[in-house]
């Protein structure tokens, strides 16, 4: 089982089943297809469990915010605005209702990215997809042994 932590701003999208994937830096061990995922939030010493999901796919991903492209597994390039918006929504970037008339999900994701990762206009990482397998937990602090 692999655990992933999320910032509080992503909790509503995860619970609404809008956020169905996460993009992370490469590391020694990410989830594998078919493996259980635990999603949580909060500080490392007092994590709060959001729920569980099953990893359906793990893919290499490249985000180029300057060129407005997403490349998955060096094969599939997403560059049409409608597809970029769908990708951004799957990653939890549906703008709040009061902004939806003025900013697209892709623009919302791009702005968040520039603020959160100012030195990474081009990002290479891993996309962990759990599709629609998320099952919410009663939000309670995890017991740490």
Give me the number of domains the chain comprises: 1
Supply 58's token pair.
């793990």
CA-only gyration radius of the chain, Å: 15
CB 45 within 8 A of CB 144: yes
CATH of residue 103: 2.30.130
Q: Which domain holds residue 42?
A: 2-136
Residue 133 has pLDDT above 70, yes or no: yes
Is residue 99 one of the residues assigned to a domain? yes
pLDDT band at 46 (very low <50, low <70, confident <90, very high): confident
Which pLDDT belongs to residue 45? 80
Specify if 111 maps to a domain: yes
> With bands split at pLDDT 50, 70 and 90, how would you rate the model's confidence at 143?
low
CA atoms within 13 A on the CB side of 133: 18
pTM recorded for the entire structure = 0.89
* Average confidence (pLDDT) over 6-20: 94
Report if residue 22 sits inside a domain.
yes
Is residue 145 in some structural domain? no
Read off the tokens for 131. Answer: 């599709």
């Amino acid at each position: 089982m692999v655990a992933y932590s999320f910032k509080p701003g992503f909790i509503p999208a995860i619970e609404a089943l809008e956020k169905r994937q996460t993009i992370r830096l490469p590391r020694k061990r990410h989830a594998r297809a078919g493996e259980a995922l635990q999603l949580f939030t909060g500080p490392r010493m007092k994590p709060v469990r959001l729920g569980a999901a099953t990893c359906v796919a793990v893919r290499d991903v490249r985000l180029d915010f300057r060129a407005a492209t997403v490349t998955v597994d060096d094969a599939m390039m997403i560059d049409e605005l409608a597809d970029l918006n769908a990708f951004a929504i799957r990653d939890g970037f549906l703008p709040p209702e009061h902004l939806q008339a003025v900013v697209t999900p892709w623009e919302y994701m791009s702005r968040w990215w520039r603020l959160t990762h100012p030195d990474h206009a081009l990002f290479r990482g891993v996309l962990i997809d759990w599709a629609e397998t998320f099952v919410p937990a009663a939000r309670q602090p995890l017991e740490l042994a």
